[in-house]
Structure 1
Amino acid sequence: VVGIDLSPNSIEYARKFEHIGLNFQVHDMREPLEGEKFDYVFNLFTSFGYFSSDEEDKAVFKSVLDVMRRDGLLVIDYMNCEKAIHGLKSEESLVIDDVRFDIARWVENGKIHKKISVQEQQFKEEVKVLDLEHFREYAKATGFTLDEVYGNYQLQRFQNTDSDRMIMIFRPK
């Protein structure tokens, strides 16, 4: 098992749990992992959708295809954007361990934005609004077929307006 992330800090933390058969590397998922072939590739918890262009998103699919065995599976877990947008809380404040977090969320230019303010510091992230058709198009353009779509971690059928997640199973063509 190989875990990858762009963040050196995340990989440094993950390496505390390494053992034989489990290692972690700083790596860009848009680039193939040299010298490796995998039966399964997992992209979990909306780790997709942070790149600025469709071409970069397709590059992820292409790099996975390069490192996947012919009968392998790609599993992508992504938020169900339709439900996420419908239930979006535009503003919220939380107090955790006497620390106040002010959170603002909005949709703009095809992305869901979130700004978290903690005292004088701010953190901002944005993720693309991608629906099932986006993923089908990425798959078709890069040599995959979409086999199954589930709507939650209990693997119930995906429903566009009600499901929390889109858990998609892709196979190489």
Structure 2
Amino acid sequence: MPKKWFQNWFNSPYYHILYQQRNHAEAEFFIDNLCAYIKPRADAKLLDIACGRGRHSIYLNKKGFDVTGIDLSIASIQYAKQYQNSRLHFYVHDMRYLFYTNYFDIAMNLFTSFGYFETNQEHVKALQNFNRALKPNGLLVLDFFNSCKVIETLCPAMHKTIGSIDFNIHKKIENCKIVKKIDFVDHNQPYTFTEEVMAYNMDDFSLFFKQSGFEILHCFGNYNLEEFDCKNSDRLIFICRKTQ
């Protein structure tokens, strides 16, 4: 079976080259605000789903929490493992399959690490797995882009040079997905990768959470944790509680 786009792209070194400017200060600011809002107990067990190279997990652990990070990318987990300690662990794992049962107090799925699959059913199954991993009344934080604003402000083409590589990026809306095509040449070898993320909105998530045993406690629109506004907010951030 051919690999999915996310299996190819997230395991590629070029993914990390293209996105090397990701703002760690912004990520830490978001985590600080989340912790101030949620107020996790000192002994809380946290799950970082689709953790990438572990920037959120590592910072949460520095704040004193017991954190487990999981990600589909072998390369990302290999990188993250250098930071492991007795209260920080990383595993290669696909969120579509169950990981632990009734074990974590808080699960987090951050920075639009959702919406990658082909069907709504696969996404609901993933959320059901998040649910099963949580203890009764456990919390889920899901941070997605605001698809309404993304679609409204979509830039169809852009160029980005990093080192010796010229990345040509084209975006479009296709089959209810926001599709990004990334073309470049490195050492005379042409490459093409894609990103395809479902353009889910508030109504979609409301239905998915209901189907997977969560209730929405609050919805924020940015990393300052200000109220969500469909037209202007950059993010769509849910705080949910496990109800069944």
- TM-score category (smaller protein): over 0.9
Residues 138-158 of structure 1 deviation map (CA, whole Å, 9 limit, x = unaligned)? 111111111100000000000
Match of 1:96 among 157, 162, 178: 162
Find the counterpart in structure 1 of residue 237 from structure 2: 167
Cα distance in 2 for residues equivalent to 1:77 and 1:34: 22
Find the counterpart in structure 2 of residue 33 from structure 1: 99
Find the counterpart in structure 1 of residue 122 from structure 2: 56
Secondary structure in 1 matching 2:143: strand
Q: Which runs of 5+ in 1 are unaligned?
A: none
Superposed displacement of residue 95, structure 1: 1.9
Match of 1:65 among 131, 134, 153: 131
Q: Give TM-score, length-normalised by structure 2.
A: 0.69
Cα distance in 1 for residues equivalent to 2:197 and 2:141: 19
Superposed, 1:1-173 pairs within 5 Å as: 1-34=67-100, 37-119=103-185, 120-173=190-243
- Across the aligned residues of Structure 1 and Structure 2, the Cα RMSD in angstroms comes to 1.1
Superposed displacement of residue 118, structure 1: 1.2
Percent identity, please.
39
Superposed displacement of residue 36, structure 1: 6.0
Residues 149-170 of structure 1 deviation map (CA, whole Å, 9 limit, x = unaligned)? 0000000000001000001011
Secondary structure in 2 matching 1:58: helix
Query: Greater RCO between the two (CA within 8 Å, min separation 6)?
Result: 1
Residues 89-110 of structure 1 deviation map (CA, whole Å, 9 limit, x = unaligned)? 1011122224211110000000
Secondary structure in 2 matching 1:135: helix
Deviates more, 1:27-36 or 1:1-10: 27-36
Cα distance in 2 for residues equivalent to 1:135 and 1:13: 32
Contact 2:143 2:238 in 1 (8 A): yes
Q: Could you say which structure has the higher strand fraction?
A: 1
Contact 2:100 2:132 in 1 (8 A): no
Residues 2-22 of structure 1 deviation map (CA, whole Å, 9 limit, x = unaligned)? 100011111111111111110
Q: Could you say which structure has the higher helix fraction?
A: 2
Q: Which runs of 5+ in 2 are unaligned?
A: 1-66
Cα distance in 1 for residues equivalent to 2:166 and 2:139: 42
- The alignment covers a number of residue pairs equal to 173
